[in-house]
Amino acid sequence: MISENEYKKRRKRLAKKLSSNSVAVLFSSGYKTRSNDTQYPFRQNSNFYYMTGFKEDKSALLIVKKKDDIKVILFVAKKDKKQELWNGKRLGEKKAKKRFLVDEVLVMDDFEVQLKKYLQATKELYFDFLLDYSKVKILKRYAKTLSTHKNIAPLIQKMRLVKSHAEIELIRKAINITKEAHTSLMEMPKSGKNEYELLAELEYVFKKNGAYSDAYTSIVACANNANTLHYIENNKPLKDTELILVDAGCEYEYYASDITRTIAVSQFNKSQKELYDLVLATQLEVMEMIKPHAKRSDLQKRAVELLTVGMLRLGILKGSVKKLIKKEKYKKYYPHGIGHWMGLDVHDECPYKDTDGNELEFKEGMVLTIEPGLYIDKNDKNVPKKYRGIGIRIEDDILITKGGYENLSKAIAK
């Protein structure tokens, strides 16, 4: 678990990035309506959680900076027995004061009064420019005399790039639970079943192990369904001759895992093996390039080269490798990137370039996915018939280490 001291250090680091004589505001998430008077399960705003570790709604964080003097105030929902009867216990102001290492804890009812007080004596306001309008309206009400508004989100997102030891351990835990889920699915008889039965097995194992939510909507895509990259219907019957693309990862204590495996309902045929081996060989070679100071674009370039050469060899593409890459003909069958940052979000909201537009180099402690794939639609008559209707992706979660990399999900069979 992440200690309160680590959250305090994060707030201190963030405060150092703020201008003198400024105020920064972070808000919690709110409940989102599912339909009529029912709501989706609550999930905290990732940037707010990164700075506080607080999981309740109706809360906010205020950082006031005057030269070298920094004050941090956490606002929480007040205790209300009637509301708690229906919606569960609140931590409340008194317990929050004992738990959080901040200068002051106040109830959310006091937020606007405090905001007005501190904004009257400052010049700059930092907040997330993607805030919903109701919260922006509150800020504008008291920020009319400010000279500058700045977006706080990029500052926090950059901090989230390199994971601490505690964060990495939570990601490991999420991946270990996901490993158990994928392994259980691989071992269960699949002939005659439906995609949703496999989905149910994944979700059962997640929740049984304390991962109460998916890191994203799971994909269980049989045969041509795998050629829809974000297929989430998960309701088609399985056939013995087909492959199943399973893209599923749990979230544990807000930290994500993201794993894709492509398996057979019964067994691989020769054509399926040829495509699978090409994707797997590409992934393994690309991963060997990962180390500090390497760049994601170099990984992408090599993946494109390997997949293009392979598709040319199998008769999926025709022409010269150089021209096929230059004209981006490969994109018809490999339309996405080699991977993405992962952490508090499955697609972690961290930058890929610095403020000058230069691509960031890998550093020890960063976590990303590596996920080459090939997707050949069943109706694509430009491809040999034996490959049509096959979609394959293989995805692992990678930690950049001092000497290279660690495949955190290597224990999940492929």
Active site residues: 37, 230, 247, 258, 336, 340, 347, 371, 375, 393, 395
Sheet architecture: strand order including 124-127: 104-107, 69-76, 60-66, 22-27, 124-127, 148-151
As a whole number of angstroms, the distance between CA 103 and CA 336 comes to 46
The 10 Å Cβ neighbour count of residue 61 is: 22
What are the E-state strand segments in 260-356? 260-264
Which of 294, 297, 296, 230 is CA-nearest to residue 260? 230
Total residues found in the chain within this entry:
414
Q: Are 74 and 59 in contact (CB under 8 A)?
A: yes
- Interatomic CA distance for residues 414 and 394, integer angstroms: 8
E-strand spans in 11-153?
A: 22-27, 33-35, 38-39, 60-66, 69-76, 104-107, 124-127, 148-151
**Which stretches within 100-152 are classed as H helix?**
111-119, 133-142
Amino acid at 195: E
SS3 category, 309: helix
**Whole-angstrom distance, CA of residue 312 vs CA of residue 306:** 10
Question: Which tokens hold the place of 197?
Answer: 């039965």
Element spanning 280, H or E: helix 270-287
In angstroms, rounded to a whole number, what is the distance separating the alpha carbons of residues 27 and 15?
16
Q: Which residues pair with 398 in a beta bridge?
A: 368, 407
For residues 265 and 239, is the Cβ–Cβ distance under 8 A?
A: yes
